[in-house]
Amino acid sequence: MPEAGLTLVLGGARSGKSRLAEGLVAARPAPWLYVATAQAFDDEMRARIADHRARRAQGWETAEAPLELAPALETAPEGRPVLVDCLTLWLSNVMLAGRDVEAETDRLAAALARPRGAWVVVSNEVGLGIVPDNPLARRFRDAAGWLNQRVAAAAGRVVLTVAGLPVEVK
């Protein structure tokens, strides 16, 4: 069970990070706040979102924040366990919307530095593979790496998921 404060859960695609994060939050008394950053632009994403929703028991309230993540966190009820899933989807939304990534990251980092309860944030570790072959993907990989570093520095706990197994990093 996470203490009050910020926990960052990192991992690759299908590593088990979301399931682990949901369990960390659900170990605290309900109600829980699920801050979703995904947007259902295609059938595959709609299916992923449906899978995540079906997995969650009663007691979860969902806030949709594909772009306005910092305001969603700034208005989260005091003491409410919060799960943000996930930072890299939020980052891609920010980039594709043409927003200032550095300014948006600063605003999010400021909100995450002041958790008012047990907050668990999920993010993809995207920097372990080959160098992307196009400028947008390279900018995304770099921005995700910087974002993860900022959040990890503010977090009291960092967990890396590998093949469904949690590895305590911090």
Q: Which residues are catalytic?
A: 52
Query: What single-letter amino acid sits at 100?
Result: D
Could you tell me which residues are beta bridge partners of residue 36? 64, 85
DSSP 31: P
Checking phi first, is residue 132 left (phi over 0); if not, alpha (psi -120 to 50) or beta?
Answer: beta
> What is the rounded CA–CA span in Å between residue 39 and residue 49?
9
3-state secondary structure of 121: strand
The alpha carbon of residue 104 and the mean position of all alpha carbons in its chain are separated, in whole angstroms, by 15
Q: How many CB atoms lie within 10 A of CB 107?
A: 17
Single out the residue of 115, 167, 123, 119 nearest to residue 141, CA to CA: 123
DSSP 79: T
Q: Could you tell me the two tokens for 16?
A: 């088990």
Do 5 and 151 meet the contact criterion of CB atoms below 8 Å apart?
Answer: no
